[in-house]
Amino acid sequence: MIFTSIPILYFGINMIVNKLIYEKQEVSLEEKNILIIGDSHPMRSLNPKYFHSAQNISQSAEPFVLTYWKLQKVFESFVPDTVILGFSPHNISEFNDFKFSDKTWSHEMFKRSYPIADFDGLGIEFDYVSYSKTLWKETAFYPKKNHNEFIGSYLSSRTNKITNWKKVVDRHFFKNGVELGVSETQVKYLHQMASLCEAKDVVLVIASHPLHKSYLDNIPSPVLNSYDGLIRQLEKNYIVIDKIAERYPDEYFLNVDHLNKFGADRFTKEVIDQLNQ
């Protein structure tokens, strides 16, 4: 009992210390005017260097739930003038609801979100055992100075490979061959992000970059129709730049649903031009 109590005490103290650190830790970001957030779409399509004062903290595969938690945390440290949120049909697909329960994504999502997550009333299933293991690995061994692994950055690539639209469509809109619907949870957190920006007097810009025709044409109608309805609803109160159906040359795409460096340069400049108007 004495032997086992020593590591238990050691791990317990470290977890308490780390919890105190990340609860009080501010997000270390430059206080720039524009904050770009979302998943891999804005991460690869909006180059902050073209703006006068902007930073891109998007991360791959990030569901709106996690983006909302992240935005809440950032606002505790500083409040920008403008938030640009990436939005595309896949963001409201039910496949996002499995990101905290499916082992394909859950470990990475827990690793990013444990300091900011609020699972009470989340409305979707999450793997408590996997979450506990991740929390233990991240906090039990030694005091960590930085718990802000939810902060991403702009990423670009010159690659151009327009293949496998079916694989991407299946991942985003199907599970085991069954078509997925629209996630009420992701839609709810989209509206909560909009309300949070309003409460903080932040200008919200919804930005949707072009999708390759082979991908866009195969998005299930219920999801695409819901996306269109949300766009029409959001543009009544916020700035919406919706270009998912705009035709870009094939060489501007990284793959069927992401832009490469050349596509990102064009899209970013178009967003800036539209905002300047």
CA dihedral 77, 60, 170, 166 (to 10 degrees): 140
Identify the helix (H) or strand (E) that includes residue 263.
Answer: helix 261-276
Q: What is the CA radius of gyration of the chain?
A: 20
CA-to-CA distance for 86 and 64, rounded, in angstroms?
10
CB 42 within 8 A of CB 56: yes
- What is the reported pLDDT for 5? 86
Residues 41, 184, 218: CA angle, nearest 5 degrees: 50
Q: What is the mean pLDDT of residues 167-174?
A: 96
Structural domain span for residue 207: 2-276
- What is the reported pLDDT for 192? 97
Q: Strand 203-208's sheet: what is its strand order?
A: 54-56, 34-37, 82-86, 203-208, 239-242
pLDDT tens digit sequence for 28-63: 899 999 999 999 999 999 999 999 999 999 999 999
Q: What is the mean pLDDT of residues 77-91?
A: 97
Could you give the percent of the chain with pLDDT greater than 70?
Answer: 100
Structure tokens belonging to residue 124: 């979707």
CB 192 within 8 A of CB 241: no
- What is the reported pLDDT for 74? 96
Q: Which residue type does 106 have?
A: S
pLDDT tens digit sequence for 137-167: 999 999 999 899 999 999 999 999 998 899 9
CB 18 within 8 A of CB 144: yes
Average pLDDT, the chain: 95
Domain count, the chain: 1
* pLDDT > 90? residue 237: yes
pLDDT tens digit sequence for 101-140: 999 899 999 999 999 999 887 888 889 999 999 999 999 9
Could you give the percent of the chain with pLDDT greater than 90?
Answer: 90
**Given pLDDT bands bounded at 50, 70 and 90, which one contains residue 3?**
confident
pTM: 0.94
Q: What is the mean pLDDT of residues 266-276?
A: 97
Domain CATH for 72: 3.40.50.1110
CB 252 within 8 A of CB 266: yes
Structure tokens belonging to residue 195: 């309300």
